[in-house]
A = this chain, B = another copy of it.
Amino acid sequence: MVEVFERSVVEGRRFDVVGIGNAIVDVITHADDGFLAENGLAKGAMTLIDAEQAEHLYGLMGAGIESSGGSAANTIAGLAALGGRGAFVGKVRNDQLGGIFRHDIGAMGVAFDSAAATEGPPTARCLVFVTPDAQRTMQTFLGVSAGLGPDDIDEEVIAQGAVTYLEGYLWDPPPAKAAFQKAARLAHKHGNMVALTLSDPFCVDRHRLDFLDLVEGHVDVLFANEAEISALYQTDDFDTALQQVAGHCQVAALTRSEKGAVIISGEEVHVIDAVPVAEVVDTTGAGDLFAAGFLFGLTQGRNLHDCGRLGAVCAAEVISHYGARPETDLTKLVAPVLG
């Protein structure tokens, strides 16, 4: 296997992974395809909306359940649930949703030391519409999270993370993009790795040239699903995208829903089967939890095959219920993989 990084790097750090992303509370409801069409919602995608649009859409949506979310935050929560040492950097307001976000990530065992903003917009929320096919359509009001900026990146924290994990969604608001760049630079300065998830195909479309540059020169571990990697290389053929990404970053983990995942690192390629699920209820967080399992394996010194299997087990858990954070004991679920 490829030596992804020295065990001594992980052992010398306080955190296995530091995640940086939007701090979001999800508001989850059922909807049918007709509702999505009537309201012009792009099925399966994440769309940014403003406060007014959020209020309007919330008025139209069904009764919901609230659950802490945020892509990188879900990943770090999953990593902690596996026993990994995680920290999260993100911005909430000192409001009730901010309190819920802070409680939930802390209760998972994640260090979350970012101070709550005492003024400005409220804590971010994502209106999640789950259709009968278990697909999720997300409309996100970033609120105060859009203000995440370079000043929120603490060099001490990044220095202490063997991996700094960044969500592509951060590329949308300019201050968050600057925070992203600062964090990636600091991670490498301290001999740590940088991991990135491409987040969403439309997000990739918005920032393709930047993301190509990131993958080429700034990212050690890349996570993407089939739609995202295809958007990055502007192809509709998975294998074409796979051939393109090979060699552009140290490790790429490409997820394909029920088709499983492909892990590629230099000459090494692993094709990992999806873990069967009795009933797929809500696919929200599938990619985030795959990344959680994968990064847990990586920082535990596991080979890439096992990292992929750990990701598949964690993704299977999160799609079997509503919400993007694990509900069952992940350590038990991954025990057969860890041996």
Contact = CB atoms under 8 A, between A and B. Distances in A.
Contacts of A105: 63
Interface secondary structure of A, over-half rule? mixed
B65 A108 contact: no
A65 B67 contact: yes
Nearest to A321: B322
Q: How many identical subunits does the complex contain? A: 2
Interface in A92-135: 95-97, 100, 103-105, 107-108, 122
A122 B95 CA distance: 11
A66 interface: yes
Classify chain A's interface size: 20 to 34
B68 A67 contact: no
Contacts of A5: none
Given A97-B96, A122-B96, A66 B66 contact: yes
28 contacts: A30-B327, A58-B103, A59-B103, A61-B107, A62-B107, A63-B68, A63-B77, A63-B103, A63-B104, A63-B107, A63-B108, A63-B325, A64-B100, A64-B103, A64-B104, A64-B107, A65-B65, A65-B67, A65-B322, A65-B323, A66-B66, A66-B67, A66-B100, A95-B95, A95-B96, A96-B96, A96-B97, A96-B122
Which 5 residue pairs across A and B have the least CB separation, nearest first?
A66-B66, A63-B104, A96-B96, A63-B107, A65-B67
